[in-house]
């Protein structure tokens, strides 16, 4: 690195640029979301621990001129993603030309989308969407500083709740990255975008759930309980019917077969809702498997309506399904929080579970709660834990730990083994709770997609075809569908 170099760091799906002053400092845009100020910082502050790169130029100005240009704009706060971002600034300092390869790429994508025809007239204002593998800089900043939030498969303004991007996996696998968006590999049985949840993928997920239930049967055998897996075969048959329906050429045949499949999916919803109610009464360990199955039954039905381009009916069914699942998931979450939720804050779980993580769960139940409120709710529970350290174990529901899973002695389960297994289970249970909430959030975000299709004035098939014009980078797990104005 040398004085006057155009330097940059890779932040995952976007790059951040600046000018090396040659004295251990760099001049660059810093700030939050869509705001920023050109400032001089230490090189450590610029890199934030990331690897530093230098952009090479065939023709550029002398270092003294480059530094002079950079210093002349110190304090400027006219950041604009498309017309005046950190890369524009650095290129101008280096060559006198105001350019950004990231923006040029995005513009090329937008032009391609316009040619494709993904545009609409809404309230007499022309709006467009474009798809990209690169997360825009202002969205990355917004998520990082909290002005934007990810909820399921959307990124929206934290205050106004307007959608600024829809997320879609670049393959059918549940995404493990990027860390910025806090998407885990086991976050949900549902993918981020409804467009990804085709009938074949629903079938795959259904088979995975069936296998997990078969494994759970080993534990339930010990308490003389049997799982009725018979209806999974009926569900699979309904999916086969739906798959075949949409390979038919005649619209009338396609619609008739789709309606038959829909009737079977409705029956599946009725069956699995009853199963969930039963398992909640039993406080069993397979409630989550049935909740996920029920969510797949709703997705399969709604996908039929989307394929038939009946967007209004699809949206209505999303809303009805969300109400049912919300109620069931909340009952399950409250069960898993145990009679003493402060158990999740025990010293044994330091570094695994903290107050912030517990608060996010309570905020899903009641959005007005903050960390202080949740702590106050648990203050007395913490005292009870200290006074009676083993009582919370005795009251654990079988949904977390069934006593038959622990070796027994003459007088019942060995207390030490019981405590050891309970301590092992709670972090796993926390992940189950978060998975249930994430599943609900993704179902909610699917509604946003359907609303967008209606607002954009395009068909579901055109929505499926949206794709970045640029080649897929090697590690790009997600694509971003971005409206030119928040929706």
Tell me which range, 157-166, 406-415, 471-480, is most confidently predicted by mean pLDDT: 157-166
pLDDT value for 102: 60
Which of the given ranges, 22-31, 78-87, 177-186, has the highest pLDDT on average? 22-31
Q: E-strand spans in 183-270?
A: none
Average pLDDT over residues 277-289: 91
385-396 pLDDT, tens digit per residue, is 888 877 888 888
- The residues near 170 (Cβ < 8 Å, ≥ 6 apart) are 133, 472, 476, 477, 478, 479
CA terminus-to-terminus distance, the chain: 43
Task: Give the residue-averaged pLDDT of 58-76.
Answer: 88
Dist CA 245 CA 222 (whole Å): 43
In this predicted model, what pLDDT tens digit does every residue of 350-391 receive, in sequence order?
888 989 999 999 999 999 999 999 999 999 999 888 888 778
Residues 6+ apart with CB under 8 A from 447: 315, 318, 319, 322
pLDDT > 70: what percent of the chain?
A: 86
Interval 297-318 mean pLDDT: 94
Q: Which residue has the tokens 């068909």?
A: 459
Residue with more model confidence, 85 or 217: 85
CB atoms within 10 A of CB 435: 18
What does the radius of gyration of the chain's CA atoms come to, in whole angstroms?
A: 27
Question: Which tokens belong to 393?
Answer: 């174990």
- % of the chain beyond a pLDDT of 90: 41
| Helices within 337-472 (DSSP H only) | 355-365, 371-387, 391-394, 415-456, 460-465
Report the half-sphere exposure of 386 (CA within 13 A, side-chain side).
7
Q: What local confidence, expressed as pLDDT, does residue 223 receive? A: 54
> Can the peptide bond before residue 248 be classed as cis, meaning omega within 30 degrees of 0?
no
Using pLDDT thresholds of 50, 70 and 90, give the confidence band for residue 171. low
Q: Which residues does 243 contact at the CB level (< 8 Å), separation at least 6?
A: 199, 200, 203
Distance CA 190, CA 292 (A): 8
- Give, in order, the Cα–Cα distances in Å from 313 to each of 241, 307, 317, 325: 20, 12, 6, 18
Instruction: Say whether 187 sits in a helix, a strand or coil.
Output: coil
Q: How high is the pLDDT of residue 61?
A: 86
What is residue 184's predicted lDDT score, i.e. its pLDDT? 58
What was the pLDDT predicted at 476? 75
Query: DSSP letters along 215-236, please?
Result: HHHHHHGGGT-----HHHHHHH
Q: From residue 357, how far is each of 44, 201, 352, 362 by CA, in Å?
A: 30, 31, 9, 9
* Mean pLDDT computed over 126-145: 79
Give me the chain's average pLDDT, please.
84
The fold of 6-99 is endopeptidase fold (from Nostoc punctiforme) (3.90.1720)
Give the residue, 289 or 103, on which the prediction is more confident.
289
Q: Please spell the DSSP secondary structure of 79-129, one letter per residue.
A: -BTTTB-HHHHHHHHHHS----HHHHHHHHHHHHHHHHT-EEEETTEEEEE
What is d(CA 70, CA 93) in angstroms, rounded to the nearest whole number? 6
**224 pLDDT higher than 70:** no
Least-confidence region, from 5-9, 29-33, 269-273, 350-354: 29-33
- The DSSP element (H or E) to which 55 belongs, if any, is strand 52-55
Hey, where are the domains in the chain? 6-99, 199-337
């Amino acid at each position: 690195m040398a004085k006057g170099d155009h330097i940059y760091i890779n932040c995952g799906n976007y790059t951040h640029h600046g000018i090396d002053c040659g004295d251990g400092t760099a001049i660059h845009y810093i700030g939050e979301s869509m705001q920023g100020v050109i400032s001089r910082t230490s090189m450590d502050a610029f890199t934030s621990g990331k690897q530093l790169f230098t952009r090479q130029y065939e023709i550029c100005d002398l270092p003294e001129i480059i530094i002079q240009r950079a210093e002349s704009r110190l304090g400027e706060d006219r950041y604009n993603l498309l017309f005046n971002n950190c890369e524009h600034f650095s290129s101008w300092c280096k060559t006198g030309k105001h350019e950004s390869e990231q923006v040029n790429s995005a513009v090329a994508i937008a032009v391609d989308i316009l040619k494709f025809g993904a545009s609409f007239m809404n309230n007499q204002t022309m709006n467009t969407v474009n798809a990209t593998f690169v997360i825009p800089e202002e969205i990355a900043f917004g998520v990082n500083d909290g002005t934007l939030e990810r909820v399921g498969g959307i990124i929206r303004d934290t205050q106004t709740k307007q959608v600024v991007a829809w997320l879609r996996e670049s393959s059918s696998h549940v995404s493990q990255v990027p860390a910025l968006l806090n998407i885990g590999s086991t976050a949900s049985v549902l993918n981020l975008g409804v467009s990804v949840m085709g009938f074949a993928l629903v079938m795959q997920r259904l088979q995975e759930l069936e296998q997990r239930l078969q494994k759970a049967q080993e534990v339930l055998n010990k308490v003389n309980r049997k799982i009725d897996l018979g209806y999974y075969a009926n569900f699979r048959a309904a999916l086969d019917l739906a798959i075949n329906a949409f390979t038919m050429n005649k619209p009338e045949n396609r619609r008739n077969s789709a309606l038959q499949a829909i009737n079977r999916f409705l029956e599946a919803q009725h069956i699995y809702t009853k199963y969930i109610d039963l398992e909640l009464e039993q406080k069993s360990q397979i409630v989550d498997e049935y909740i996920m199955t029920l969510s797949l039954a709703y997705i399969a039905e709604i996908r039929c309506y989307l394929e038939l381009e009946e967007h209004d009916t699809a949206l209505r069914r999303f809303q009805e399904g969300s109400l049912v699942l919300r109620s069931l998931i909340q009952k399950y979450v409250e069960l898993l929080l145990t009679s003493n939720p402060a158990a999740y804050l025990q010293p044994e779980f330091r570094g695994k579970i903290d107050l912030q993580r517990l608060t996010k769960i309570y905020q899903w139940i009641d959005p007005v709660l903050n960390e202080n409120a949740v702590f106050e709710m648990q203050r007395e529970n913490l005292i009870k834990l200290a006074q009676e350290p083993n009582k919370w174990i005795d009251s654990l529901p079988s949904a977390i730990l069934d006593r038959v899973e622990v070796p027994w002695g003459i007088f019942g389960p060995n207390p030490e083994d019981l405590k050891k297994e309970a301590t092992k289970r709670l972090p796993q249970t926390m992940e189950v709770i978060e998975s249930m909430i994430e599943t609900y959030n993704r179902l909610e975000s699917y509604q946003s997609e359907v609303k967008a299709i209606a607002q954009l004035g395009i068909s579901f098939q055109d929505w499926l075809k949206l794709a970045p014009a640029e080649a897929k980078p090697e590690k790009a797990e997600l694509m971003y569908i971005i409206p030119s104005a928040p929706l």
